[in-house]
């Protein structure tokens, strides 16, 4: 075995380890939204809504980059905890010169959401509970929420779109109104 192969093996091992570690820590892997899901979610975003578009857990950047490209006049933000997907999405952002996109390596639970007009996410049940609590306590304006696969636990969606894929993946759309 030569040194080059050994170094490559160590790098691959560290990458896998980092993804497994962050999956255990956050509760979900950095799985990307499918192209059908991205297209459907982006179609639900109103370009005329003033305010930030935020991806809560932007992963490798699949959805947040497509959103920033489709809406060049909107300020788009992504929060991601897992460092490798975040780094890759940062590199893509600079390669594609997306000046309207900001990517933070940060927990969305400690992020400021009050300036958002649209939230997109592909989280997991506990993540949706955390989001609902955050909305109830911190968001005092109307917000459109588009969620891939997972619903908010006690909030009625405005509509549910079923993707024409193997799992008939649901896309939940909410028009959140503060109480």
Ligand X SMILES: C[S@@+](CC[C@H](N)C(=O)[O-])C[C@H]1O[C@@H](n2cnc3c(N)ncnc32)[C@H](O)[C@@H]1O
Residue nearest to ligand X (CB): 57
Q: Tell me: does residue 118 bind ligand X (CB under 6 A).
A: no
CB of 3 to ligand X, least distance (A): 33
Residues 2-61 that bind ligand X (CB under 6 A): 22, 26, 28, 30-33, 55, 57-59
Question: Strand 76-79 vs strand 101-104: parallel, antiparallel, or unpaired?
Answer: parallel
Partnered with residue 145 across adjacent β-strands are: 119, 174
8 Å CB contact between 72 and 99: no
Q: Note the helical H segments in 71-124.
A: 83-95
CA torsion 97-102-107-111 (nearest 10°) is -170
Query: Reduced to 3 DSSP states, what percent helix, strand and coil does the chain have, rounded to the nearest 5?
Result: 40, 20, 40
| Site mask for ligand X (CB under 6 A), range 71-110, x = bound | --------xxxx--x---------------------xxx-
Q: Which is nearer to ligand X, 108 or 174 (CB)?
A: 108
Q: Tell me: does residue 147 bind ligand X (CB under 6 A).
A: no
CB of 176 to ligand X, least distance (A): 19
8 Å CB contact between 119 and 145: yes
Q: Residues interacting with ligand X, by CB under 6 A?
A: 22, 26, 28, 30-33, 55, 57-59, 62-63, 79-82, 85, 107-109, 122, 127, 148
């Amino acid at each position: 075995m030569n040194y080059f192969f050994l170094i490559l093996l160590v790098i691959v091992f560290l990458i896998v380890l980092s993804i497994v570690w962050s999956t255990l820590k956050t509760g979900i892997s950095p799985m990307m939204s499918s192209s059908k899901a991205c297209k459907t979610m982006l179609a639900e975003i109103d370009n005329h809504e003033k305010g930030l578009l935020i991806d809560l857990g932007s992963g490798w950047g699949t959805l947040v980059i497509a959103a920033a490209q489709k809406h060049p006049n909107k300020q788009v933000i992504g929060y991601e905890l897992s460092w490798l997907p975040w780094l890759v999405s940062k590199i893509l952002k600079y390669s594609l010169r997306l000046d309207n996109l900001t990517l933070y390596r940060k927990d969305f639970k400690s992020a400021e959401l009050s300036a958002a007009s649209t939230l997109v996410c592909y989280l997991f049940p506990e993540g949706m509970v955390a989001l609902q609590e955050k909305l109830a306590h911190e968001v005092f304006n109307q917000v459109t929420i588009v969620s891939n696969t997972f619903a908010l636990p006690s909030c009625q969606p405005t509509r549910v779109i079923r993707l024409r894929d193997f799992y008939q993946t649901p896309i939940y759309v909410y028009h959140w109104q503060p109480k």
